[in-house]
Amino acid sequence: MAKKPAPDSTRRSEKSRRAIYAAALALVSETGYAKTTIEGIAARAGVGKQTIYRWWSSKADVLLEAFLDLGEQAAERAGQSGQETYGIPDTGDLAADLKQVLRATVDELLDPAFEAPARALTAEGFVNEEVGREFVAKLLEPQLQLYVQRLRSAQETGAVRPDVDPRIALELFVSPLAQRWLQHTGPITHAYTDTLVDYALYGLAPR
Amino acid sequence: MAKKPAPDSTRRSEKSRRAIYAAALALVSETGYAKTTIEGIAARAGVGKQTIYRWWSSKADVLLEAFLDLGEQAAERAGQSGQETYGIPDTGDLAADLKQVLRATVDELLDPAFEAPARALTAEGFVNEEVGREFVAKLLEPQLQLYVQRLRSAQETGAVRPDVDPRIALELFVSPLAQRWLQHTGPITHAYTDTLVDYALYGLAPR
């Protein structure tokens, strides 16, 4: 059975919501977190500021959801949906699965639509501990937990040593990519993240 | 033969220089990079702004040297000096040498005198690419190159595989610590950095 079309009011709300997200991400990219205001977002989105306050309690809330929506849109374009959005594949080949996800992350980090607002928010999080902790707890840590799950599954099949702490282990390939992206300390390529996975899994010392 | 005392003018300069560094680090900690000015540094240090302009061309220059001086002071307190300041020990035991340096880095990152200005500058570097590249080139990368040297030495003795790229390899233990410090994604302890070294050298996969 075909889905019933949304009533007019819902469609209007959906359109406003997307306009508000776009305005929030554009403003934080252009002026930074500190200068982004609910009033500014409302003006740019062409809505009254009461519309924003009806749905969100702060600019941090608006931005958080704008980012979650950006991730969902990217996943939809990639042909994923729902639960799968943030899943890490489990084909039984740990190295291949990690390389695939990190290559997709490289593409996202190099996408200007994601890069500028993500960078502005991350920078704010470094000096504003409250904002930092909020975004880490709601955006970053849930993504890292997917690596934890994948590494646990690899421990069950014997691909990762049983005494390894998965929450620390994932940092060996996730953190180097994050630092290169944030500090421009080196190029970000698929070859680079492939190398990180190989070094992390097999170690720097001879086997 | 005892060292001849410095003439009065040199001692005055040295005192002014240290006062200027302290003022610059305090201001960037308290107000961030953007609001720190040469005028503000001069006022806080109790010198004329021409004194600052005589020695440095920009606030970025002052801060860069203030950080280098902070590192030298820490090294002096630790009983090191000159060339050894930034050296990584080479006892022949790679794991032990890396653990020692990373434990010292943990102590530095948790030292308030270093933490606040370092965090403010790092945050600025994420949104201001010019500042970021300057500080990476003059402060961060020279430190990372010391790990490159130590890993090359380990390749010569067979402790690290010959096909490993040392510039990428060092990121497996340096970047996770940097990310935890910057994003508060987990505790920073000696046990944590010891674990990073073990995972990086011996790998996550069973041997």
d(CA B125, CA B144): 17
Place A7 in a pLDDT band, splitting at 50, 70 and 90.
low
pLDDT score recorded for residue A4: 54
What is the chain A residue with the closest CA to B205?
Answer: A160
- Closest CA relative to residue B92, chosen from B168, B147, B150, B143: B150
Query: Is residue A3 scored above 60 in pLDDT?
Result: no
- Closest CA relative to residue B172, chosen from A77, A177, A60: A177
b (16+ CB within 10 A) / e for A96-105: ebbbbbbbeb
User: Residues A187-198: what's their mean pLDDT?
Assistant: 98
- List Cβ<8 Å contacts ≥24 apart for B32-38: B32/A127, B32/B120, B32/B123, B32/B124, B33/B63, B33/B120, B33/B121, B33/B123, B33/B124, B33/B128, B33/B131, B34/B124, B36/B63, B38/B62
Residue of B129, B169, B175 with shortest CB distance to A175: B175
- In the structure encoding, which two tokens stand for residue A158, read together? 């014997």
DSSP A8-77: HHHHHHHHHHHHHHHHHHHHHHHH-TTT--HHHHHHHHTS-HHHHHHH-SSHHHHHHHHHHHHHHHHHHH
pLDDT per residue over B99-152, tens digit each? 999 999 999 899 888 888 888 888 788 777 788 888 899 889 999 999 999 999
3-state helix, strand, coil in chain B (%, to 5): 75, 0, 25
Question: Among residues 115-134 of chain B, which lie with CB inside 8 Å of chain A?
Answer: 119-120, 122-127, 129, 132-133
Place A116 in a pLDDT band, splitting at 50, 70 and 90.
confident
Tell whether the torsion through CA atoms of A181, A186, A188 and A192 is positive or negative.
negative
Query: Is residue A61 scored above 90 in pLDDT?
Result: no
Chain A contact for B185, CB < 8 A?
A: yes
- In the structure encoding, which two tokens stand for residue A50, read together? 């009461």
- As a whole-number percent, the residues of chain A with pLDDT over 70 amount to 89
What is the number of other CB atoms lying within 10 angstroms of the CB of residue A195? 19
Q: Which residues on A lie below 8 Å from B132 (Cβ)?
A: 183-184
Contact A61, A134 (CB under 8 A): no
The ipTM value here is: 0.85
State the average pLDDT for chain B: 88
Query: Is residue B176 scored above 80 in pLDDT?
Result: yes
Q: Do A160 and B205 touch (CB under 8 A)?
A: yes
Q: Which residue has the higher pLDDT, B81 or A177?
A: A177
- As a whole-number percent, the residues of chain B with pLDDT over 90 amount to 57
User: Residues A29-57: what's their mean pLDDT?
Assistant: 91
Most confident of B7-16, B67-76, B80-89: B67-76
pLDDT score recorded for residue B164: 98
Q: Do B192 and A161 touch (CB under 8 A)?
A: no
pLDDT score recorded for residue B83: 43
Q: Which residues on A lie below 8 Å from B195 (Cβ)?
A: 165, 168
Chain B contact for A188, CB < 8 A?
A: no
pLDDT score recorded for residue A1: 43
User: Residues A83-109: what's their mean pLDDT?
Assistant: 87
Angle in degrees, 0-180, between the axes of helices A171-183 and B190-202, rounded to the nearest 10? 100
User: Residues A36-52: what's their mean pLDDT?
Assistant: 94
For residue B75, count CB atoms less than 10 angstroms from its CB and return exposed for 0-12, middle for 13-18, buried for 19 or more.
Answer: middle
pLDDT score recorded for residue A112: 83
pLDDT score recorded for residue B51: 92
Fold of A87-202: Tetracycline Repressor; domain 2 (1.10.357)
At A124, the amino acid letter reads E
Phi-psi region of A32 (alpha: psi -120 to 50; beta: other; left: phi over 0): left
Query: Is residue B194 scored above 90 in pLDDT?
Result: yes
Q: Which residue has the higher pLDDT, A121 or B186?
A: B186
pLDDT score recorded for residue A6: 55
d(CA A202, CA B201): 8
- Closest CA relative to residue A139, chosen from A178, A90, A190: A178
Domain ranges of chain B: 87-202
pLDDT per residue over B25-70, tens digit each? 999 888 888 889 999 999 999 999 999 999 998 888 898 889 888 8
Most confident of A190-194, B113-117, B181-185: A190-194
- In the structure encoding, which two tokens stand for residue B203, read together? 């790998």
pLDDT score recorded for residue B5: 54
